[in-house]
Amino acid sequence: MDSSNPLYVHPSDGPGSLPIQEKLTGAQNYRSWRRAMEIGLSTKRKLGFVRGTIPRPPVIPIPPTTSAENAVRLELWETCNNLVTSWIMSSVSESIAKSIMFIESASEIWIQLETRFSLSNGSRKYKLSKECFDIQQHGSSVSEYYTRMKCVWEELDSMIVLPRLVNITPEMSNFLVAVEKQKEEQRLFQFLNGLDDCYGAQRSQLLLLNPLPSVENACAVIQQEESQKDVLKSGVSFVESAALFSKQETKNKCSICGYKWHPPEKCWEKVGYPVWHHKYKQSQVQNKQTQYRPRSSSNGTGGNFKRTAANVTSGASSFTFTSEQFESLMRSVLNDVKNNGATGSDCTDDELDFVAAQTIG
């Protein structure tokens, strides 16, 4: 049989070979479901089974059709009719499927569903027209907001039945263009009306244009502004994160010497250097006893004081090892640092401060 024949069944066709994403649940989604079913059935060349344009063959053959030919044709029709019925039942809710299970003809099922769930055009048009002005963006993306409005507009257009024009004069053509322009302006106003207040400046700029842009162009402009706002938000978040990190880094530093690894109350600038430290001799010369000395302006602080290393060594009994053991340990650390290639007093200070802070803490 020719594949273009409506009675032809492809080997891949079966009860689940016509997937419909939205199942019929009631009058609220009947129109969108019916449209999806019509598209799917037309791709299978089976739309005539629900519209009644492919009737059931008679039981008694009509000449010149023979009985054998008529029997084959009748069997093919029954197969296609049951296939379409299975497609309909698999695309409706369970309760609706039970109510149409024992109807033999797919066209009868189609008529019953139309009678049960098809609302009058007046009620449906009123509901859709009201939705056009009630839909608001409410923080959703511009694309999602426009898609919701587009669905309502498309359904409204499908309900408007206009007479077919045979002869179109230039005056009539101009009139149709003006009507279409007025409809586009109305949709533009509805779209701009539902936008969030953050797009107020763009709304005003679009309304000042002459001629007014189409609703698609207006949506593109708003989406560009939305993308720019997202980029700026990400930049602000990065700056705030960097500032927070810098604040935490500053907070963890010693307020006396500017190094990390120890709190101010354990800073050697305040409590004095131990005898093994290379700055110990300088502190002994300058500080025979506990005395105060303002820090240089380059460190950014002043009025801080030092204490002699003798005061530190006198408290060595608080450790679990003697001061001589502690001094020997720190000298070993200093030698390891020098052997590893570290040069300069600043690097040595950092390493020693870190090790000592861990030991004292």
- What pLDDT digit, counting tens, does each position of 90-148 carry? 999 999 999 999 999 999 999 999 999 887 678 888 888 899 889 999 999 999 999 99
* Residues 319-333: tens digit of each pLDDT: 455 666 666 777 776
**269 touches 304 (CB < 8 A):** yes
Over residues 7-30, mean pLDDT: 89
pLDDT of 147: 94
Number of DSSP helices (H) and strands (E) in the chain, helices first: 15, 2
In this prediction, residue 162 has a pLDDT band, given cuts at 50, 70 and 90, of: confident
Q: Is the pLDDT of residue 318 over 50?
A: no
DSSP state of 299: G
Higher pLDDT, 114 or 337: 114
In this prediction, residue 337 has a pLDDT band, given cuts at 50, 70 and 90, of: low
Torsions phi, psi for 272 (to 5 deg): 105, 155
| Residues facing residue 239 across a β-bridge | none
pLDDT of 297: 42
Q: Is the pLDDT of residue 259 over 80?
A: no
Over residues 70-91, mean pLDDT: 93
**45 touches 84 (CB < 8 A):** no
Angle at 251 between CA 247 and CA 255, to 5 degrees: 130
